[in-house]
Amino acid sequence: MSTALALPLAIVAAYIIGSIDFAVVVGRMYGVNIHEEGSGNPGASNVLRTLGRLPAAMVFVGDLLKGTVAAAMGTIASGTANPMSHWALLAGLAAVLGHCYPVFHRFKGGKGVATAGGVLLWVVPLVAIVNALIWAVVVKLTKVASIGSLIIITITVPLALWRGIEGLGLVWLGLILLLVVWRHRGNIGRMIKGSEQKVPA
């Protein structure tokens, strides 16, 4: 298959993979419609609050893998062995877009943090690891997942620059981060009011 055909197919496939909502799938396994529980957000944090640690871990791993698989598809389709190819980040953006606006669930998706983390895990794994550690520490101290998510968003671009991301790669990464921030606009409003929900200790 030619690269000119493989790349568009990879981007479309990345969006479709991103549209698989593991919070919805896991919720159904436990007899729950996650859209009607807790905050209503189909993400790992809401699953943790409503169903517990194991279901939340299942959702987190599934959402993470969506980003990793999508970025890998972008790399392979581009015909390069370089995981930092901007095509990997473009495919990752498609997966995050699918997660946030899934075609299978009437475009009502999650916030995109774990899927974005999966993209970073493929493209710049050290950045993903640093982000994960900082997120875990912040959430441990504050008990608010969205604070941790927004903090790691602010440090991702400097870390990515340090690891060598440039050009179009930075553009796609920036759009991923902007999308995640946009999806957190409700959380930001609740944090300002002091009413943001906390995760279990």
Q: What is the pLDDT of residues 139-193, one digit of tens each?
A: 889 888 888 899 999 999 999 999 999 999 999 999 999 999 999 888 888 888 8
* Of the candidates 129, 132, 116, 125, the residue with the CA atom closest to the CA atom of residue 173: 116
Residue 73: its H or E element? helix 53-77
Helix pair 86-100, 113-123: axis angle to 10 deg:
170
Is 199 within the bounds of a domain?
no
How far is residue 170's CA from residue 149's CA, in Å, rounded to a whole number? 19
Residue-level pLDDT at 201: 58
Q: 64-122: per-residue pLDDT in tens?
A: 999 999 999 999 998 887 888 899 999 999 999 999 999 988 888 889 999 999 999 99
Is 200 within the bounds of a domain?
no
How far is residue 161's CA from residue 174's CA, in Å, rounded to a whole number? 12
How far is residue 143's CA from residue 140's CA, in Å, rounded to a whole number? 6
3-state secondary structure of 184: coil
Mean per-residue pLDDT, 117-140: 95
Q: How many domains does the chain have?
A: 1
Residue range of the domain that includes 23: 3-193
Residue-level pLDDT at 22: 93
Task: Kindly report the number of other CB atoms within 10 A of residue 94's CB atom.
Answer: 27
Residue whose pair of structure tokens reads 């440039």 in the numeric block: 166
Q: Which residues contact 189 (CB under 8 A, 6 or more apart)?
A: none
Residue-level pLDDT at 2: 61
Is 160 within the bounds of a domain?
yes
Beta carbons of 42 and 109 less than 8 angstroms apart: yes
Q: Maximum Cα–Cα distance for the chain, whole Å?
A: 54
Is 49 within the bounds of a domain?
yes
Is 88 within the bounds of a domain?
yes
Is 201 within the bounds of a domain?
no
Is 74 within the bounds of a domain?
yes
Is 24 within the bounds of a domain?
yes
